[in-house]
Each structure stands twice: as structure tokens, then as C-alpha cells.
Structure 1
Amino acid sequence: MDRLIYTAMTAMNAAMDRQRVVANNLANASTPGFRQEIFAVTPATLKDGTLEARAPARGNVRGADMKAARVVPTGNPLDVALEGKALIAFQSPDRQGEVYSRRGDLRVGATGVLENGEGLAVLGENGAPITLPPGFGISLAADGTVLAADPAAPGAAAEPVGRIRLVNSEGTRLAKGIDGFLKVPAAAGGTGVLPPDLTARLGTGALEMSNVETADTLVQMIEAQRAFEQRAKIIATAGSLDEAGSGLMALR
């Protein structure tokens, strides 16, 4: 009996985790550049010799769906939409490495650092955040070069102050953590980073939106809820069978 209950319990946990992932995807249906998380459930059979003891379910985020989403014109010169499979390198929230995203709603922060809508600092080719001179007019070139024009020198050409670190993950496995950021799995205690892609291009004045399909995601949420309810019924049935068996033993 414990095998039935234990297996159903792990399946309930997996269904709950799936609901969390689906809810997170749905909450980010309007977040620029968001890539929906892919959830997978796998059985993990525990064997003792020839006996299959239990088959608990393990659910986790397998990665992110990197398919392209629609691009919406905004007219903002600091909004960028990446072409192909390029990604922008950002400084991680703990400032200990790099994270990657296609979120291109860029802005100049209060400290003069170029950042996106989440407040993550945009990294330059040297791996450091791009810092801009105060009061200068900022524009972006198709190759990611950041140009600054001095307002005190009308008619003067804008000067490059850095270049956005654009990378391509093709051929490299990316992981998506519970913080929602794309990362290269660290190996042997080091921090994984993607190599720069010098051929990557971006378009300005537009944003790539989330690739979450709202209708499909709602269906997934209903499926996850039903799966949880089914496992709960199995545990309730197991309890009833246990009580019935105890009653039969008492009659003896």
C-alpha cells in the first residue's frame, strides 16, 4: 500500500511544480523577450535486485522554448529586437556572472549604466557593464555599438562608448533557473559563459514580445490541476482500501 501512496504523492508534487511553471509562463505572457519554460516529468524507478520497489515521479524545468515571438514597433530608439538566435549578455543579479535574455527594453539607469526593464546591467565586450556619460544623447547601431552624442557640441558626430555583448547559444545547452534567467550551467565550480557573436544584429525602435501562447498555457494549467486532483483521489482510495482491509482483519 505504501508504494501506491508514495508514487501518488510524488506525482502530486510534480503536478504542483508544473502548475507553478505554467503560472509563471502565464504571468509573463506580456514580458518582452520572455521565453516560456519547458516542464518535464520523468519516472524514477527504484529497484532492489529484480524487485521494482517504487516508481516516483520527478518533475523539473528542462529548459526554455527558444522559438521566436512577434516583434512590435515602439518608436523608442533604445528598444531593440534581436535578429536570429542572438542573446544579450547581462550582469547577474548577484554580480557574480552572466545571464542571457532577449529582453530589449533598454534604458539608462540612475547611475548611468545601460540596463533593461528588469534592472539588469547590459554587459560590454570587456565583460563589464556599459556606463554612459551623463546628459549625452544615446543611440544604438545594428551591431550593438552604443553611441553617445555631446549635447554641448551640436552637429558633432556621436562617439562609440561601448558595444553590447551579443552572444549565440547555438550548440550550447542553456539552463533556466528558478530566477527565470538563462544561464550556461557552471562546470567544475566555474562560471559558464557564451562566446561573443560578432555577426549578431539587432533592430532598434521595436521589441520582441513573449513567446507564451495564452490559450495553450491556460489549457496546460487546467491539465495540471486535473492531474493533481486525480492523484489526490488515488490517495483517498488507498486510504479507503486500507480501512477496509483493517476491518476484515478485525472480523477474524
Structure 2
Amino acid sequence: MKNEEEMKFPELEAVFRLYSHYDRYVSVARAVSEKNRNALAERFSLEPLGFMNVDNQIHPEAVLTLAAAPLDADIEEWYSGARTNFLTIGRMSPEKDHAKLIRSFVSHHAQEPSARLLILGTGPLLPDLERLIVDLDATEFVWLAGQRSNPYPALARCDAFVLPSLHEGQPMVLFEAMILEKAIISTDVPGPREVLDGQYGLVVENSGTGLEQGFNALGTAEFPSAKFDHDAYLLLARNQFTDVCVPTSTVSSLIEDQFEVVGRK
């Protein structure tokens, strides 16, 4: 939240001043909660023990269904022109740091001319990124393909998904890539580091050099390749929500209602 305040939304300070009226401050990942506590608790006189986390909910069936749809024809053509296709999906705003990604990929492409990078999304930095690609003479292998109503077929067909962000909470797109069993390269920031857990993707230094090393590592033994158990994750996330956000009296009432339904049946 402090990063968001510093990079984009200075008015968040007024929101933070309201936090003292609440009992709990729930972030979407443990590492993010710790970072928020360190940045906000003392500054706004908040109870440190009030900082907690509840992992995001996911919908594996929806991801798998949407990913099975036909791939857009222009993306199909783009993918067919490369041996290795890297993909990122995200809003083009400062914290996503697409410029770092593009520059690092240009360096990688000099070593691997058969690789291409597809970027899906739009946002305020789109014109700047378009100019950067032209200036770097990268239009043949880096493509800003815009916003797509269904990006999941592109995610399902890429060789690796890349998350180049400067900071993140708990990115849903990483879970979606994990559900689709894709290779993942992510910069080393708290939320993604916790999601990938050293098992589901390669976490690299948050720099152009780090990303380039990640590109080069694709397909090697260095790349983590564990299969994500989305059912186990869902159970954990739901239990976290019940423990942190649902009053004990409400849980007891829900259990009693279930017993009554069973009794009537």
C-alpha cells in the first residue's frame, strides 16, 4: 500500500488515517501483510497484531474452460512465427514495469532470435511503450496486442508467462498460469515470491538482468516445475477467510443451519 501511495496515489494517506477505526487490516498474502504492517502500523498508530492475511480465492474450472476457447487468429499467427513465446498480461502502469521487461527481452532476443514477447493489456503508459519498442527496433519480436476479452487461450499456448512488476499483492494471473501448468518467470517481490514458493516458477532479481537470466533459464533444470494443487489451495484460502473475517457466532449459526437442513432431509 505504501508503494501504491508513493508511485500513483498520494491521496491514499487520507484512507490510511481511517484505518484506526477498524479492528483488522487484511492483506492477500502473508508477506504483503508483513510489508503493510512495517510501513503503516507505527506511522498511523495501528495495532500490529491487527495485520492479517487471507489468500485470494481462485476459480480453476473457469480458467480451464476459458483457456480451451479458440486462440485469436492474429495471436495464433504471432505465436507460429517463433520457437519460444513469452507472454505477460497486465495494466500498463508504472508498477508493472513493462519498460524493464521490453529492454531485457531485447537483450535476450540478441542471443535467441527465434524468441518473441507478447504483451496483453492497455493503460496510461501504452504510448510510451509503443515508442520504446520502435526506438529499440523491436517491432518484429515484441508486440503490444492490446486488451483481449479472453486472454486465457494465449496464456495456455505460450511457452512461459512473465511477471516483471516492481511490487504486487497476490497476482491472480500467477494462479491462472499455475492452473494451466505454465512455466513462470517473476521478479522477486513479496506477493509473487510467496505464491510461487520456490516450486511453481522461477523468481529472479527485480532488474533487467534478472529477467534476462530468467529467459535464458527456460527449459533448464534450474526451472521449478511442481504441479499446483488448486483444490488444496482453495481449502486453505476458505479456511483463512473463515478464521480471520467471519465472527465465531456467524460460523456457529451456519453450522446449526446445516444440521437443520440435514435433519429435514
Using structure 1 for the length normalisation, give the TM-score. 0.29
User: Which is greater in Rg?
Assistant: 1
**Structure with the higher strand share, 1 or 2:** 1
TM-score when scaled to structure 2? 0.28
